[in-house]
Structure 1
Amino acid sequence: MTQKKKLFLLDAYALIYRSYFAFIKNPRINSKGVDTSAIFGFTNTLLEVLRKEKPTHIAVCFDRRGPTFRHKEYKEYKAHREPTPDGIISAKPYIDRLLDSMKIPRLYLDGYEADDVIGTIAKKAEKKDFQVYMMTSDKDFAQLVSENIFMYRPGNKWSSTETWGIKEVLEKFQIQKVSQVIDFLGMMGDAVDNIPGLPGVGKKTAQKFIAQYGSMESLLANTHEIKGKLREKVEEAKEQGILSKKLATIDIHVPVEFDEESLILSEFNIDAIKELFEELEFKTILQRILSFSSVPEITSKTTEVSDENEKETEGQLDMFSVSVNKTNNKEESDKKYVLSKNKDEILKEINNSAVFSFQTLSNNLRDFNQKIISFSISSQKDKSYYFENNEENIKFLKRLFENPEIKKVGFNIKEQIKSLRIHGINDIVNIFDVSIAHYLLQADMRHDLDVLSENYLDYSCLDIQTTLGKGKNKRSFSELSEDKKKFYTCELADVQLQLSEIFEKQLTELNLIELFYKIEMPLLKVLSEMELEGINLDVEMLNNFSAELTTDIKNLEQDIFRLSGEEFNVSSPKQMGEILFDKMKIVEKVKKTKSGQYSTSEETLSKLKGKHQIIDLILEYRGLQKLLSTYVNALPQLIDENTGKIHTTFNQSVASTGRLSSVNPNLQNIPIRTEKGRKMREAFIPRSSDFEIFAADYSQIELRIMASLSKDEDMLKAFNNRVDIHTATAAKVFKVEVKDVDREMRSKAKSVNFGIIYGISAFGLSQNIGVSRKEAKEIIDNYFEKFPKVKEYMDWSIDQAREKEYVETILGRRRYLKDINSRNGMMRAFAERNSINAPIQGSAADIIKKAMIDVQEEMEKYNLESRMLLQVHDELVFDMKKSERDILMKIVKEKMEQTITLNVPLLVD
């Protein structure tokens, strides 16, 4: 029996957009700065369908720029669509080259959309005895489905690929025949394409109308049967309904020929593909694409199983050599273990390479008393050694870690250090953390090991979350089979080693290597010590404070009810919006959320302060509720039962500016602007009566950095003469003598000073200080007139960012700004603000990180019992022994103020 011809028609832009947004939180940027996300995703999708479905014929259909017949019918068609992302525009030429290299035809027709080209060819091919698969996720194509025409919807991480035939279409749309798809789409409309549809008709109503009337025309002929206000809406929109159905209908009679011979899948141009992939830096993916050509398939490398020393077990470790194949077949890879060399040979191997990567395995890194289950090390690509936790193996590992000449590579080393300490491995130097290295290279991207492996090695790691399971069926690592534990840890050790080689080279090329080794790696150990130390809480004080806040909240609630005239759920945004804007009509024009509710966000309500007393009460109510739920009641629940303290986790690779953040709990966002918020800090107490809490805070560090970078004479003069900068600014901006600056002027000047750093607009400043936009603009203009070098620096920083697409801090930390030249005005403006702020905020982050290292080293030098506990933005918090007060204060002040030299003094309060 002859095999039926199988034609795949790909909706190009549907797949390109899908690929681009799949990587939106973790874009693939190559070493040349090219965003390859859309190209990579499209290529993988194309290869997967070739491998899995084996089409005999194929074509990729594109939309053409310019209006189509639908725009002529309805000028507003697709009018609300966002501009095409730059990452998709830049990807198009590469995708054209890819398709040309694979000899896959690109089809398009002026005046028509890809939908119409696909529809016409699909119907013509069906008549020539083809099975046709329209590869797209666009539901509009369902109208074309027939006995031999199918929708092929590609899957993703969360869903599998779906093929829709007639049965699936009828079930999905809840209709009786495929021809009703366009009636359904016409009734509902389409917000994406700006097809209006019938007012008041959603999915459920459209299904109801289809079941009752069968078509749009029949519905509109019988509107007298519709009940309520919906009848009036539908009757008034009859012409709109007919137009919507027409706009949703795919034209299957466009002037395009179906040339069967030209669509046959044929041999690829391998040289052109190689050239393209080398340019894009797609590495092992080339092997996949070769397997679809007529060239013999390239097989992945495997390691021969050796019985070397198999019988010589005396003096050997319990370990296995693992070859990590560059393949996605985990079940096959899982079985490639061989009993291998003894410890002396491994040691020799590591000494020769002067580097090893390591991966420990434990059930809970947050548990400071949790011993490791096992560990793996690797010093050569594609080879790892697995060790069970026993005394002999731990001694061997300690010997490796305590050798300062050998580099230790790991991932999330800060957490692993805690596990190693339990086993007496404390003095760990010469380290390389893969996640932090990548953070310095690409701060805005994800730094998960599986993501890095896919992006840089084209290799997919074992999905450990799936292996462990979820919910009540989730297993611990200790419950995994030995083979799974071995493969998992050995694979990670190998991947980390390979990534470290790539990242170290890139750090060196970008002049980031010193920042990495002199700031980030030493800081890692400081943060580990701080996390292990923890901080004591006054639980009794918090219990009393909780009762106090609960009373305050209830009183505020009663005041809100009194002003609104009725009781309601103050915590419900929906009820809140109805009270404020329907009943009380505090303002006429109100912002709404996507769901149609009134917006009652803090940002919205803050703009309404002063309009009515109830607004201020609501904001105060929310502030107290957050303080109570997030901190006062929550912190006691986080006290470690073994230490009696809370132990936060500092994130070293999250904030793209270089700043640290903290979680579990977040101790950096405790509100301190209100009296109640400041009282919360009293709950943090010293370990005993011999100690006291001591905090040291940089004074106006970001403004001092701005002065140093801009070299503005008046700003430098103010800081160098120890003049209050906000008073000096107020005198300049408001054109008064310093002695005549009042509190309100100084407060406004403070907002201006800090607002300028963040690239604040006249509108933003007007909202902050409660003046008109015109007055705010005048204040900003006056500021730049009095501090001209600040404006020059800001303009220069934006120009540099446009040229390089990144900015740098004083110590060389980079912040990439991929949208700085975007055609989208809003995205470009955001990038411009970052180009001003990132060097300043990032420099402040670098300075306090270096200060932490310097202070910690000096404390250890004097063997002090005092401990550094927290870093909160520009502030360091210590548990200070009273007898060490003088020496600690001296160390902290000197090291923080002298950690880096600026054109103005750094001052610490």
Structure 2
Amino acid sequence: MSKLLLLDGHSLAYRAFYALPTDLATSSGTVTNAVYGFTSMLIKVVGDEHPDHLAVAFDTAAPTFRKEKDATYKAGRKETPDLFRAQLPLIHQVLETLAVPILEVPGVEADDVIGTLAVRGAKAGMDVIVVTGDRDSYQLVHDPHVRVLYNKRGVSDYALYDEAGIFERCGVTPAQYPDYAALRGDTSDNLPGVPGIGEKTAAKLISTYGALEGIFEHLDDLPPKQRQNLGEWRDQVFHNREMSVLRTDLDLDVDPDALRMGGWDPEVVRELFQQLEFRTLYPRLLEALGAEAAAAPEGETLDVEVSVARDAGAAVKVLAAIGKGSERVALEPVWSGTPGRSPLLGLGIASGDDAAFLPADLLGDAKAATALGGLVGEDGPPLVAHGAKELMHGISRAVGAEIASLSVDTAVMAYLLDPGAAPYDLEDLAARFLSLELRSPDREEGTLDLDGDATADGAGRRAVAILRLAVALEEALSARELAELYERVERPLVRVLARMEDAGVKVDREFLDGLRADLQAECDRLVAQIHAHAGEPFVVNSVPQLRAVLFDKLGLTPVKRTKTGPSTDADSLQKMAAQTPHPI
């Protein structure tokens, strides 16, 4: 069965805009939080659902038939933020570059376009998933062909609803949802609900009487205040329902089978993502679509001559020569394991295009250690690093000195420019901001170096790249008006965090050990009880085994289902506990 994915473009773009900070922008200052978030949403749902067909529907600026019926429809909404409106053309550009069909029909809303295509797709035997942040789409759910993937919050938190899921979520069936919404009202659409009737009461009334007509036929059966409010708001309630029902019969010249994916040019997409500075999204896109990456355009290879100190005397001379001026000095550590936690293997050092490498064992010499301490001390030159906090730990352990002259941490700067683009690898940043390739120009990829020269060469080259990257990132921070934030907050914070990590937190180990033992004993006792109630041992933390016991063996009724089966999350288990007398 082919799968059709229908996305509510405006709804998801709005969610993305308010989920991500508006300081998410390119180095030139173009705000891209909605574009980034929407593209991330698109990649996630495509990667999760693997559709054969895909389309995105958007609202248009033209008045809709609902607005013509009710001039106050959506009248209370705030003005669309300029920062959001400016990003809509970029979202369209992303979709067009990815060859994703865009649907816009004047006079109707995106929901109506989606509703019509959902019905057509279901009739054609397609598995249809509507992706939206608008609850009105709940009414479109129809087993087994039409489901709603609802964006609950942020850009990655979704719930997939079938008919049972809608009932569990709202207490009504999808077909009853417009009646339920009519009673509850929708302030975002300027459709007021009946006073005193919230979601639970609305669901109870619909469940009891079936529809609005049934409720108003039985007003005499209701409590006096409820009866009075419903009587007074009768016209508004039926108007609300009329406005809430989605069109599924539009005369669209669109065949769902024609909404096929594919046909995009990887190189064009790569160029657009580079322009938008979506560094992490392109690999995610390729993974989601199962596509092969186009060959990356080669950048300039950084060719640097790196001198290696072979003894302590040479190390002292290198440190003295590099540290005597006022120019910036970059330090690039080489670690034996986890950065900041493992011992140093050596240090790459650069000033201008001059680079050197100091093996860590030379730092055991008192004169070499003193020279390094002077280089990083208050009277030393301005220091540049990529991941300065980890470097501070390494220098402190190696020679007992504290870095006091930190000028630039390029990793922190990169974070300020794009908070969502971790892990801020130096190679990626050099390619993005400098068009630099950091691999050795003289060494074939994959060759094994036995004398350590490759390590020295790489560390020295990276140190030179850090110096160049610092200049590019400073310019980008200034363009984004983030330089003051970096200087006043982020740069001093690096040293504070390093000191905090060095000092650690004092704990009562004996108490914690005892607490752990008590908790483990309680867990063991509870597991034994669970096994006794189940009549067999099983791994309680195993979702498949837990499902087999609860639903297959004991015959308990699940309260919610996921794509893979009955839900066993904590919320579902707590609801089941309240609904079943079984002691498990």
1:504 alignment partner in structure 2: 471
Give the C-alpha shift of residue 218 in structure 1: 1.1
Summarize the Cα distance change of 1:288–1:112 in structure 2 as closer, same or farther, 3 Å threshold: same
1:30 partner letter: T
Matched position secondary structure for 2:4: strand
1:8 alignment partner in structure 2: 5
Alignment of 1:334-349 (within 5 A): none
Aligned counterpart for 2:374 among listed residues 388, 399, 402: 402
Summarize the Cα distance change of 1:511–1:237 in structure 2 as closer, same or farther, 3 Å threshold: closer
For residues 854-894 of structure 1, give each alpha carbon's deviation from its aligned partner in whole angstroms, at most 9, with x where no partner exists.
xxxxxxxxxxxxxxxxxxxxxxxxxxxxxxxxxxxxxxxxx
Give the C-alpha shift of residue 270 in structure 1: 3.3
2:405 alignment partner in structure 1: 429
For residues 63-110 of structure 1, give each alpha carbon's deviation from its aligned partner in whole angstroms, at most 9, with x where no partner exists.
111321111222221111111122221111122222222221111211
Say whether residues 1:94 and 2:87 are aligned partners: no
Summarize the Cα distance change of 1:527–1:379 in structure 2 as closer, same or farther, 3 Å threshold: closer
Summarize the Cα distance change of 1:14–1:455 in structure 2 as closer, same or farther, 3 Å threshold: farther
CA distance in 2, matches of 1:186, 1:246: 8
User: How many residues align structurally?
Assistant: 429
CA distance in 2, matches of 1:299, 1:155: 37
Give the C-alpha shift of residue 400 in structure 1: 4.0
CA distance in 2, matches of 1:198, 1:523: 51
Alignment of 1:465-614 (within 5 A): 501-508=468-475, 520=487
2:79 partner letter: P
1:103 alignment partner in structure 2: 99
CA distance in 2, matches of 1:495, 1:83: 48
1:165 partner letter: D
Say whether residues 1:173 and 2:193 are aligned partners: no
TM-score (norm 2): 0.61
Say whether residues 1:249 and 2:224 are aligned partners: no
| RMSD, aligned CA | 5.0
CA distance in 2, matches of 1:182, 1:230: 20
CA distance in 2, matches of 1:458, 1:43: 24
Say whether residues 1:453 and 2:384 are aligned partners: no
Say whether residues 1:68 and 2:72 are aligned partners: no
CA distance in 1, matches of 2:183, 2:234: 10
Summarize the Cα distance change of 1:399–1:458 in structure 2 as closer, same or farther, 3 Å threshold: closer
2:122 alignment partner in structure 1: 126
Answer whether contact 1:9 1:134 (CA < 8 A) is retained: yes
CA distance in 1, matches of 2:462, 2:142: 48
2:64 partner letter: T
CA distance in 2, matches of 1:379, 1:402: 17
Give the C-alpha shift of residue 414 in structure 1: 12
Give the C-alpha shift of residue 282 in structure 1: 2.9
Summarize the Cα distance change of 1:522–1:457 in structure 2 as closer, same or farther, 3 Å threshold: closer
1:355 alignment partner in structure 2: 330
Give the C-alpha shift of residue 500 in structure 1: 7.3
Answer whether contact 2:7 2:132 (CA < 8 A) is retained: yes
CA distance in 2, matches of 1:6, 1:396: 66
2:165 partner letter: E
For residues 345-388 of structure 1, give each alpha carbon's deviation from its aligned partner in whole angstroms, at most 9, with x where no partner exists.
xx99x98995224699xxxxxxxxxxx854668759xxxx9x99
1:739 alignment partner in structure 2: none
For residues 474-519 of structure 1, give each alpha carbon's deviation from its aligned partner in whole angstroms, at most 9, with x where no partner exists.
xxxxxxxxxxxxxxxxxxxx9999887545324257879xx979x9
CA distance in 1, matches of 2:41, 2:210: 37
Structure possessing the higher radius of gyration over alpha carbons: 1
Give the C-alpha shift of residue 424 in structure 1: 3.4
For residues 780-828 of structure 1, give each alpha carbon's deviation from its aligned partner in whole angstroms, at most 9, with x where no partner exists.
xxxxxxxxxxxxxxxxxxxxxxxxxxxxxxxxxxxxxxxxxxxxxxxxx
1:183 alignment partner in structure 2: 179
2:535 alignment partner in structure 1: none
Summarize the Cα distance change of 1:41–1:52 in structure 2 as closer, same or farther, 3 Å threshold: same
**Greater relative contact order, per chain length (Cα 8 Å cut-off, separation 6+):** 2
Answer whether contact 1:277 1:283 (CA < 8 A) is retained: yes
Say whether residues 1:150 and 2:147 are aligned partners: yes
Say whether residues 1:112 and 2:87 are aligned partners: no
Matched position secondary structure for 1:161: strand
For residues 178-217 of structure 1, give each alpha carbon's deviation from its aligned partner in whole angstroms, at most 9, with x where no partner exists.
2111111111011111111222211121122122222112
2:140 partner letter: L
CA distance in 2, matches of 1:243, 1:106: 31
CA distance in 2, matches of 1:425, 1:449: 32
CA distance in 1, matches of 2:41, 2:138: 21
2:193 alignment partner in structure 1: 197
Matched position secondary structure for 1:41: helix
Unaligned 5+ runs, structure 1? 301-314, 317-342, 361-371, 439-445, 461-493, 533-639, 642-909
Answer whether contact 1:287 1:298 (CA < 8 A) is retained: no
Say whether residues 1:164 and 2:140 are aligned partners: no
Answer whether contact 1:357 1:378 (CA < 8 A) is retained: yes
1:110 partner letter: P
Answer whether contact 1:7 1:56 (CA < 8 A) is retained: yes
For residues 314-365 of structure 1, give each alpha carbon's deviation from its aligned partner in whole angstroms, at most 9, with x where no partner exists.
x99xxxxxxxxxxxxxxxxxxxxxxxxxx98xx99x98995224699xxxxx
Answer whether contact 2:331 2:347 (CA < 8 A) is retained: yes
Alignment of 1:784-799 (within 5 A): none
CA distance in 1, matches of 2:99, 2:493: 57
CA distance in 1, matches of 2:48, 2:366: 47
Answer whether contact 1:402 1:428 (CA < 8 A) is retained: no
Give the C-alpha shift of residue 229 in structure 1: 2.3
Answer whether contact 1:437 1:504 (CA < 8 A) is retained: no
Give the C-alpha shift of residue 27 in structure 1: 2.8
Give the C-alpha shift of residue 283 in structure 1: 3.6
Matched position secondary structure for 2:87: helix
CA distance in 2, matches of 1:275, 1:268: 12
Give the C-alpha shift of residue 161 in structure 1: 3.3
CA distance in 2, matches of 1:174, 1:523: 49
Summarize the Cα distance change of 1:426–1:198 in structure 2 as closer, same or farther, 3 Å threshold: closer
Answer whether contact 2:19 2:155 (CA < 8 A) is retained: no
Give the C-alpha shift of residue 242 in structure 1: 0.5
Matched position secondary structure for 2:71: coil
CA distance in 2, matches of 1:180, 1:521: 57
Aligned counterpart for 2:17 among listed residues 16, 20, 30: 20
CA distance in 1, matches of 2:167, 2:266: 43
- Percent identity reads 25
Give the C-alpha shift of residue 250 in structure 1: 0.8
Alignment of 1:612-691 (within 5 A): none
Answer whether contact 2:112 2:246 (CA < 8 A) is retained: yes
CA distance in 2, matches of 1:525, 1:100: 44
CA distance in 2, matches of 1:154, 1:523: 33
Summarize the Cα distance change of 1:99–1:158 in structure 2 as closer, same or farther, 3 Å threshold: closer
Matched position secondary structure for 1:35: coil
For residues 401-458 of structure 1, give each alpha carbon's deviation from its aligned partner in whole angstroms, at most 9, with x where no partner exists.
53246834265769958994997314633532447757xxxxxxx8499646368989
Give the C-alpha shift of residue 118 in structure 1: 0.2
1:37 alignment partner in structure 2: 33
CA distance in 1, matches of 2:367, 2:51: 58
